């Protein structure tokens, strides 16, 4: 039994390391392409050359061109910058809201915890897509609306996770020792609790990034997110669907890069999760 258990554990660790490696390669590759790729292109993402409209991939336009003659390689990589930037901003907004919210609920407990978790339960009862669309309709399509609404969509899980971690860790001996030394609640949180929560929080945020990228692409596809002439992946996919039969490359390249990025972050999150559980 011990041999079987050890073999199963080692197999899980190998799979976790493989997922971590593959996910890292995909994510780093996309980030490098987004940062450095446009510098290898002589074209502007908004430069329209109608004489070159709907050209298939060739030596001058590696991903072909769109209906307005814009270089699709340049637009796809600028779209990567925009989509990854939105995802990063969403993660930061999640931390700004979910981290203090969950910490307050877990640390003070009692009525404070009941009230804050009651609010959280009410928000959980509302389908996220419903209030995301509502806020986008109120704020209007654009980058500001996307930042705020996607940030408001994902902080609930983070807050609940932080609360559960604080409830467990606040009774630990090192926290009791910090209290005895006279440290305040927020000092204890930043110096003692947060370092012990970094691993599970990193896993959660890693899974939030592909969710935010996909949802931004979905909203932009519906016309509620980023608007032209900005080139996010959702905008490019929407444009590609419109000309899918006559110019399939306009859908193929942005959709493939979007899929590989989501796959990379999911593999990275699964690898981190498996290694964290083993440890």
227/222 Cα distance (integer angstroms):
10
Is residue 268 scored above 50 in pLDDT?
yes
Distance CA 11, CA 68 (A): 52
Alpha carbons 161 and 201: distance in angstroms, whole number: 8
pLDDT at 131 over 50: yes
Evaluate if residue 272 carries a pLDDT over 60: yes
Q: What is the pLDDT of residues 66-75, one digit of tens each?
A: 888 888 998 8
Average pLDDT over the chain, rounded to an integer: 82
Q: For position 4, what pLDDT does the model report?
A: 43
pTM value is 0.80
The pLDDT of residue 8 = 61
The least confident of 15-19, 22-26, 229-233 is 229-233
Closest CA to 240 of 219, 220, 254: 254
Reply yes or no: is the peptide bond before residue 104 cis, omega within 30 of 0.
no
- pLDDT tens, position by position, 93-109: 888 888 899 989 888 88
Contact 57, 64 (CB under 8 A): yes
Long-range pairs for 245-254: beta carbons < 8 A, 24 or more residues apart: 246/54, 247/54, 247/56, 247/64, 247/66, 247/67, 249/56, 249/57, 249/63, 249/64, 249/72, 250/54, 250/64, 250/66, 250/67, 250/72, 253/63, 253/64, 253/72, 253/73, 253/76, 254/72, 254/76, 254/79
Query: Mind listing the pLDDT tens digit for each residue in 146-173?
Result: 777 777 777 888 888 899 888 888 888 8
Would the pLDDT of 1 be above 50?
no
CATH for the stretch 2-38+71-278 = 1.10.3720.10
Q: Using the predicted structure, report yes or no on whether residue 5 has a pLDDT greater than 60.
A: no
């Amino acid at each position: 039994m011990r041999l079987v258990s050890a073999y199963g554990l080692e197999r899980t660790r190998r799979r976790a390391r493989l997922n971590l490696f593959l996910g890292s390669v995909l994510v780093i590759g996309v980030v490098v392409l987004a940062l450095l790729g446009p510098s290898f292109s002589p074209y502007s993402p908004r430069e329209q050359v109608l004489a070159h409209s709907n050209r298939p991939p060739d030596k001058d336009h590696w991903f072909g061109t769109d209906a307005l003659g814009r270089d699709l390689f340049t637009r796809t990589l600028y779209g990567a910058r925009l989509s990854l930037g939105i995802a990063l901003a969403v993660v930061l907004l999640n931390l700004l809201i979910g981290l203090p919210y969950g910490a307050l609920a877990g640390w003070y407990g009692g009525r404070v915890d009941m009230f804050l978790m009651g609010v959280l339960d009410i928000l959980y009862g509302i389908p996220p897509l419903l209030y995301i669309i509502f806020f986008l309709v109120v704020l209007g399509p654009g980058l500001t609306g996307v930042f705020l609404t996607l940030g408001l969509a994902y902080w609930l899980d983070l807050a609940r996770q932080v609360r559960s971690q604080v409830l467990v860790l606040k009774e630990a001996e090192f926290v009791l020792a910090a209290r005895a030394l006279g440290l305040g609640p927020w000092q204890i949180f930043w110096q003692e609790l947060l370092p012990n929560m970094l691993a599970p929080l990193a896993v959660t945020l890693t899974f939030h990034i592909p969710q935010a990228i996909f949802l931004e692409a979905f909203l932009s596809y519906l016309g509620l997110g980023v608007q032209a002439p900005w080139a996010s992946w959702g905008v490019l996919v929407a444009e590609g669907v419109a000309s899918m039969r006559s110019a399939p490359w306009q859908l193929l390249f942005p959709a493939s890069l979007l899929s590989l990025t989501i796959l990379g972050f999911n593999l990275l999150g699964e690898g981190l999760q498996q290694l964290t559980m083993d440890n």
